[in-house]
Structure 1
């Protein structure tokens, strides 16, 4: 079957693909994710003067693009209007590779192209990074800086930051889930929060009485500057965005003197490992984290076992000490 793709360009495919995501009821976050990654591809192709027609593109074009993604560094404006420098991250190219494959697989299914220009492109999946939770000293530093703000004239920020940190840890939320919470999503009496997870799934997440108290104190202060129904507000009374949550956590880490690597998602890792220590059940952890299967839960279980192996070594299992050597 011949396909009439004369004049069809990357921008055309991207527009159609994004329309398809909307028609399938994909979440706004999914739409934004692919728009960002594939939009970068389109802009790069225009800057490098790639052929206008998709059927004139070759696999070398996409290898060139992925190499550029893996090796580039660039400046960007963070949520607090500060200029930051993004360092080269080779693993980032994997996300772009998967997005490109999905775009052309969709184009094949829709009959928009005869053959995928990336059919021969092979990209080895990177090994999953080790799961490293924040330690108790680092977590106490986060809470301490919140308490300092509460007592020193920045009460709103201190109460908000403490509530956000505790809810992140207690409920294992993703940053997108926390950012888009509204007042109606939180039930302090039942100590549950309703979140819209991946795939627009509505799920219920529990939290403790201590977290409920922290959120209640924040909500009292919130009333003085609220301009919308969003639960978490900036100092100006505006709702948080996903990038805003990311920038918020970077600033909080700096102020708390926490210098270990990791972004806000590391709080979810910390929550998962602590939950697993208490529940001792990877299936319950899967439900708690709202994963579709046990793959990620097994990674957390492996991470916890690794912690236990290191601790056992320090508590008498050292072969050198056991043999009386050294």
Structure 2
């Protein structure tokens, strides 16, 4: 039986969207990964999925290593290929056993970057202001640090998801898994000020329920959040470069440094696996070591 490559790809994309509930970004990454793999197969003279063998997949992985792709990138591409051929096995009875033998490269032991508490104080102080824009930016910064939520989760929050009476926010995470995350007094005050005073001004004539909006009153995008965070750091004169996940890393690190248990942090972050959260223990262990070396008289 001949399997049409493009039709199979489109059916697979529909499958991961509807049945697996993958996000738009994850789905797009899968599609791009597979198109690149198909292009490689074409260069190798393979134009039928039935002709693809384990050797071709291994050659492709070797090519990625030779191009010095990051291990995380290679690992994701392997996952894309394995998932696609598992789907072909299910729907087209194509043998996928050779592709399940593709192994993931070991992760690079790069620890997440985070802000120290002193740096965060500087960041918050530098971004206090009275204009609608400044009130919005402080509210956004406070909420990210108070909850550790992903930027993709932040931009999808609606007004109805925020419960000010209980200081809890409803978040829709990866795989459309819902969770509730508490936020503290600083975030509470900044958010109330934003919702009651700044947001109505920024909204202009727009009509929607998205919590954070841009200067035109339209829903804020992930790209817009990155722009705001860069602006926030510039105002503070901190030398650190910022990326959205850095505040999430800071949230987790500070909780663990101050005695929170790993399972609680896992739940707050919305990690499916505890192993994803355990990377922060390396940071806290290093923090303990430095504290010991600085404080012990005979260290």
CA shift in 2, pair 1:59/1:242, >3 Å: farther
Separation in structure 2 between the aligned mates of residue 8 and residue 317 of structure 1, nearest angstrom:
71
C-alpha contact 1:156 1:221 (8 A) present in aligned 2: yes
What is the aligned partner in structure 1 of residue 287 from structure 2? 307
Quick one: structure 1 residues 317 and 307, their matched pair in 2 at CA, closer, same or farther if it must change by over 3 Å?
A: farther
Q: Offset at 1:246?
A: 3.2
Aligned pair partner of 2:15 in 10, 20, 27: 20
Structure 1 residue 47, shift from structure 2 partner: 8.0
**CA offset at residue 186 of structure 1?**
0.9
Contact persistence 1:38–1:100 (CA under 8 A)? no
Q: Residue 222 of structure 1 is aligned with which of 194, 199, 208?
A: 199
Q: Which residue of 2 aligns with 1:81?
A: none
Query: SS of 1:26's equivalent?
Result: coil
Which residue of structure 1 lines up, in the alignment, with residue 247 of structure 2?
A: 267
Distance 1:53 1:244, change over 3 A: farther
| 1:109-188 equivalence runs, <5 A | 109-115=90-96, 118-119=99-100, 121-147=102-128, 150=129, 155-188=131-164
- Matched with 1:76 is none
Equivalent pairs counted in the alignment come to: 293
Matched residue, 1:242 = 222
Deviation at 1:66, TM superposition (A): 4.7
Structure of greater relative contact order (alpha carbons < 8 Å, 6+ residues apart): 2
Distance 1:25 1:117, change over 3 A: closer
Equivalence for 1:52: 47
Structure 2's unaligned 5+ residue stretches are none
For residue 168 of structure 1, report the CA deviation from its aligned partner. 0.9
Moved over 4 A (4+): 58-73
**Change over 3 Å in CA distance of 1:161–1:45 after alignment to 2:** same
Aligned to 1:224, what secondary structure does the other structure show?
helix
User: Who is 2:174 aligned against?
Assistant: 198
Would you say the 8 A contact 1:192–1:207 is kept in 2? yes
Aligned partners of 1:240, 1:66: CA distance in 2, in Å? 37
1:194-240: CA deviation from partner (whole Å, max 9, x where unpaired): 11122222221111122111011112111023222110011111112
Which residue of structure 2 aligns with residue 285 of structure 1? 265
Measured after TM superposition, the shift of residue 33 of structure 1 is 0.9
Please say if residues 57 and 117 of structure 1, whose CA atoms lie closer than 8 Å, have aligned partners that are also in contact: no
Bigger helix fraction: 2
The alignment partner of 2:104 has SS state of coil
Compute the displacement of 1:303 (Å): 2.4
Q: Which moved more, 1:246-255 or 1:223-232?
A: 246-255
- TM-score (structure 1 length as normaliser): 0.78
Contact 1:170 1:211 in 2 (8 A): yes
Q: Which region of structure 1 is more displaced relative to structure 2, 111-120 or 91-100?
A: 111-120
Q: TM-score, normalised by structure 2?
A: 0.84
Partner SS for 1:296: helix
